[in-house]
Chains A and B, each alone.
Chain A
Amino acid sequence: MNTPTPGQEAEPLDLFLHFLMFCLIAVGGIGTVIPDIHRYLVESNGWMTSREFLDAYTLGQVAPGLNVMYLPLIGWQLAGIPGALAISFAVMFFPATLTMAVARVRAIAPDATAGRALRDGLSPLTIGFILSTGWLLVNNSGHEWRGHVLTAIAVVITLHSRINPMWLMAAGAVLGLLGVVG
């Protein structure tokens, strides 16, 4: 990964190419590559603070649409509408190209064993990546212990119920307003 000098402006083309690469290596969903995206935006280039990154991520989770919608938001914050479009097209690129090609090959020559080995071999790894993302987000949050307790409660509820996460987010907003997170 090349690292431009800090202070350089974010260019739409540069954003497009970087997010194309993030999507390419994001096996098991974009959530697995958040630590790398954070490193690129916050640590290598200093385009946004950790706090701004986490705010954008959170806004993307409460906005309607796929939960990757925080990426166009970040693109807009860094380089306006061209930046938002650049990242959107990067996110759409592989679904619009590779996916059908693979589906077509599979339809012609289905090799179930190879496909399952790929999935079985990669999915435990991607679960480790998802847990890393959670770990990194918590570590960069600057939350006090009360915020961590709220996170832990959300973990337990997620594990033990099938409640729509929007209710939990709404509860989080109310508790935050009451100053619980600190």
Chain B
Amino acid sequence: MSDIVPEPGSSPANSTPRSPGPLGLFLVFNQIALCGFGGTLPWAYRILVERRKLLTQKEFTETLALGQILPGPNLMNLGAMVGHRFAGYPGTLAALFGLMSLPFGIIIAIGMAYREFGGLALVQKALGGMSAVAFGLIIGTGLKLALGLPRHWRAISLVLTGFIGIGLMRWPLLHVLAIAGPLGVWLAWRERR
């Protein structure tokens, strides 16, 4: 796990691919963002690992896992670390702006269209159908992840705690996290030792 983000340029030349530079990183992450209709993660993998060979499969999984426990969107954390690895801090900014800039313009354009036409019955009907599917996607993803957990009282009771606390009781996330978070980590830590 120590090789997730080595200092830029510290690895032997044959194990680390040539740095694409900040502009290259901007373009790579811009491409990932624009391909990401319906989920950017598969495209991030395809482009970073398979096409550009900037990361190995193992590096990708480990960097993503670290990105998942840090605050912020997972893929942005991944982009920040990959950018930093290849071009230092300018690389980080290049990757983040690559992910955000064009989608930002596009979503504002969509917002303008929605402001103009969002009230139309046909648009509302289409949005209603799409949102029903979008809810199904998020629930399906949650269930898929839950099914991948170990069948163990610790994991099951933590899932239930999260769902009951936030979904049913509507407690603020911070409260649930502050109490159940350390408890979950402590239980997992005890199990590992």
Contact = CB atoms under 8 A, between A and B. Distances in A.
Interface in B137-193: 137-147, 149, 154-156, 158-168, 170, 172-174, 176-177, 180-181, 183-189, 191-193
A1 B70 CA distance: 21
B133 A124 contact: no
Nearest to A117: B189
B131 A95 contact: no
A14 B109 CA distance: 24
Contact of B192 (A1, A88, A113): A113
Contact of B177 (A81, A125, A141, A152): A125
A91 B34 CA distance: 18
Interface string B57-90: 0000000011111111111110111001000010
Contacts of A126: 162
B104 A72 contact: yes
Given A59-B110, A110-B2, A65 B102 contact: yes
A113 B185 CA distance: 11
A137 to B, nearest CB: 5
Interface residues of A, number: 112
A180 interface: yes
A62 B107 CA distance: 10
B4 interface: yes
A57 interface: yes
Interface of A: 1, 23-33, 35-36, 39, 54-70, 72-73, 76-77, 81, 84, 88, 91-96, 98-100, 102-104, 106-107, 110, 112-138, 141, 143, 147-148, 150-159, 164-169, 171-177, 179-182
Given A121-B181, A125-B159, 8 more contacts: A59-B127, A66-B36, A95-B79, A117-B189, A122-B184, A133-B138, A152-B136, A173-B130
